[in-house]
Amino acid sequence: MGKILVVYYSLVNGNTKRIADLIAERKDADTLRLQTVEPYPDNDKARKKKAREDDEKGILPELEKANYDFDSYDTFYIGTPVWGCSMAAPVRSFLASHDFTGKKVIPFATHSGEPGDVLSDIRKACEGAEFGPGFLIQFDPQEGPIMMTLYAEIFKWIKNSTQEGAREEPVNRMMGGWGRPL
């Protein structure tokens, strides 16, 4: 399986960090937390406005320089909070600046009920990669830190995610908030 890097962005509650840390612990993986050079506003309304405007303009925020040897990793878990039914812009920046040809990518995302097409959006942004099964982790609809997805489900996914031929659980992709079909 080779070396594993868990690359993630996490801003508001540390929800995505929580999942990244679980993966790192269980897969003996390294982590890379993405940070933007320019911070997002603290205020929720202002933060959403900026995220939406950046998205509409296709802006890729500049990331803080980090020390990691991309080539030394074979497998990348890519984790993001869902922003506007897709990935957060800093994750888009990271994916756009790396070549994933020949790498294995396993996407995951935390959300508050409307994950949109985030997992396939991550796949589309990692051209040339081979993919493991993605996973959506639902937090509370108020966008707080209460996790709705069961730990047992998360641990099962983490365990199976690196197995050869592992498939995404259809039920996990089909359910929106509170079990609503998407």
Ligand X SMILES: Cc1cc2nc3c(=O)[nH]c(=O)nc-3n(C[C@H](O)[C@H](O)[C@H](O)COP(=O)(O)O)c2cc1C
**Which CB, 110 or 161, lies closer to ligand X?**
110
Rounded to the nearest 10 degrees, the angle between the axes of helix 15-27 and helix 151-161 is 50
CA distance 69 to 78: 16
> Within 13 Å and on the Cβ side, how many CA atoms surround 36?
18
CA distance 148 to 156: 16
Q: Which of residues 138-177 bind ligand X (CB under 6 A)?
A: 139, 143
Q: Which of 5, 6, 10, 91 binds ligand X (CB under 6 A)?
A: 10
Smallest gap, in angstroms, from Cβ of residue 97 to ligand X?
Answer: 21
**Which CB, 52 or 156, lies closer to ligand X?**
52
Q: What letter represents residue 73's amino acid?
A: Y
Three-class SS of residue 75?
strand
48 binds ligand X (CB under 6 A): yes
**Which CB, 29 or 137, lies closer to ligand X?**
137
Helix (H) or strand (E) holding 137: strand 135-138
14 binds ligand X (CB under 6 A): yes
Smallest gap, in angstroms, from Cβ of residue 141 to ligand X?
Answer: 8
Return the range that interacts with ligand X (CB under 6 A); candidates 24-32, 57-65, 113-121, 165-173.
113-121
